[in-house]
Amino acid sequence: MDVLIIGGGLAGLAASLDLRQRGYSVMLVERKRYPFHKVCGEYVSQEVVPYLHRLGASPEPLGPATITRLQVSAPGGALLSAPLALGGFGVSRYRLDHYLAELAQARGVAVEQGATVTTVTYDLAADQHHATLADGRVLTARLVLGTYGKRANLDRQLQRPFFQQRSPYLGVKYHLRLPGYPRNLISLHNFADGYAGFSAIEEDKLCFCYLTTRRNLKAHGTIPQLEAEVLMRNPHLRAILTSAEQLYPQPEVINEISFAPKSCVEDHVLLCGDAAGLITPLCGNGMAMALHGAYLAAGHAHRFLQGHIHRAALEAAYTHSWQQQFGARLRVGRLVQRLFGQPRLSNWVIGGLRHWPGAVQALVARTHGQPF
């Protein structure tokens, strides 16, 4: 085959649609079966809409919410509001990923669900990859894209430095229903050692997703206790969480979320989406970055598969494009993360930014891209 894509999230699905549209044979391997939930803020910047339209994958059939305003609160209750110049839309990963997977299959992508890639090796003499699945099958491809998300066993096999380091962060996500919550609003709320986001998605639902630390959870024992004793100290979180209906009994939880810098090429595998670098949830634009990363990877892959550039040039060009597009965003995201999560500092920063709208707009702009 021409391209093997490991991981069926947004980056993998968009890249599969893009490369198949260009005429290549593509297989996508996903360890779960669609549809399924993911820990994700489920807000997407409008910058991705032209690309989705070119892929024939407009989000409009999913009934997304239109997001035009941002609110950020401090633990003590101070609140700042700002318009989102570009805006975004809200849609669940449960629905969006399933939609893209069905489009990919209908257009000739071989979507292998419930399968796990255990190893990937590069054959220098043949200039191709061999990937072994957990069931023993071996796949051969001219090019491999790694789009498997925040953390996977392949990171261990590729000996990626961040995988050897413990990360203190964990993420939690629910879907809620709260009549009267503004459908055009994404709100971000700080608490001790963490922050939470709410935004509307399809139908009348809200996505509620938060980042905190294992230490915070260990100190309070359970997620419900953590929410009652820490999150609800923020009056805005308390007002929402005591009024909203939870739409499924257990949250989605993910551990070991690493915001450390990552490389976008490992052992000749092109990485994109969260596998290549994760923006902090407070900056809220990881879904758009995944789609933009797919666009970059597919474009460079096309030149390679057409024989216009050799593999070393492919990897250098993709690395340069990725850093140019996302490097500054991730650095700003890590800076913003350090400003929040500590009650005193959060109260001070938000109290000051309330009177400096230009600075708020500048921070938002630096965590978003331009339409592509």
- Segments in the chain forming alpha helices (H): 10-21, 49-54, 93-106, 153-157, 214-220, 223-229, 235-241, 286-305, 311-322, 328-339, 343-353, 357-366
Please, is 233 exposed, middle or buried when counting C-beta atoms within 10 Å of its C-beta (0-12, 13-18, 19+)?
A: middle
- Pairing type for strands 43-45 and 3-6 reads unpaired
In a 13 Å sphere around the CA of 37, the CA atoms on its Cβ side amount to 16
CA–CA distance, 256 with 37 (Å, rounded to integer): 18
Q: Are 147 and 272 in contact (CB under 8 A)?
A: yes
Sheet holding 143-146, edge to edge: 110-113, 26-30, 3-6, 143-146, 269-271, 265-266
Homologous superfamily of domain range 3-366: FAD/NAD(P)-binding domain (3.50.50.60)
| Strand 43-45 to 79-90 pairing | antiparallel
| Contact (Cβ atoms closer than 8 angstroms) between residue 279 and residue 262 | no
- Three-class DSSP category at 172: strand
Rounded distance between C-alpha atoms, residue 2 and residue 144, angstroms: 9
pLDDT by position in tens, the chain (length 372): 999 999 999 999 999 999 999 999 999 999 999 999 999 999 999 999 999 999 999 999 999 999 999 998 888 888 888 898 889 999 999 999 999 999 999 999 999 999 999 999 999 999 999 999 999 999 999 999 999 988 888 888 888 888 878 888 899 999 999 999 999 999 989 898 888 999 999 999 999 999 999 999 999 999 999 999 999 999 999 999 999 999 988 999 998 887 778 899 999 999 999 999 877 766 668 899 999 999 999 999 999 999 999 999 999 999 999 999 988 887 877 777 666 666 676 766 676 666 566 666 666 666 778 899
Q: What share of the chain is helix, strand, coil (3-state, %, to 5)?
A: 40, 25, 35
Q: What is the DSSP letter of 184?
A: T
Q: Is 68 exposed, middle or buried (0-12, 13-18, 19+ CB in 10 A)?
A: middle
Peptide bond into 235 cis (omega under 30): no
pTM reported for the whole predicted model: 0.92
**For residue 164, with 0-12 CB atoms within 10 Å meaning exposed, 13-18 middle and 19 or more buried, which class applies?**
exposed
User: Do 281 and 259 contact (CB within 8 A), yes or no?
Assistant: no
3-state SS of 55-95? CCCCCHHHCCEEEEEEEEECCCCCEEEEEEEEEEEECCHHH
Q: Give Dmax over CA atoms of the chain in angstroms.
A: 62
| CA-to-CA dists, residue 340 to 44, 223, 336, angstroms | 22, 21, 7
pLDDT reported for residue 284:
65
Per the CB < 8 A criterion, the answer to whether 200 and 206 are in contact is yes
Task: Give the type of residue at 322.
Answer: W
Q: What is the DSSP string of 220-240?
A: HSSHHHHHHHTGGGSHHHHHH
30-64 pLDDT tens trace: 999 999 999 999 999 999 999 999 999 999 999 99
Between CA 287 and CA 15 the distance in angstroms is 14
Q: Are 332 and 252 spatial neighbours (Cβ–Cβ below 8 Å)?
A: no
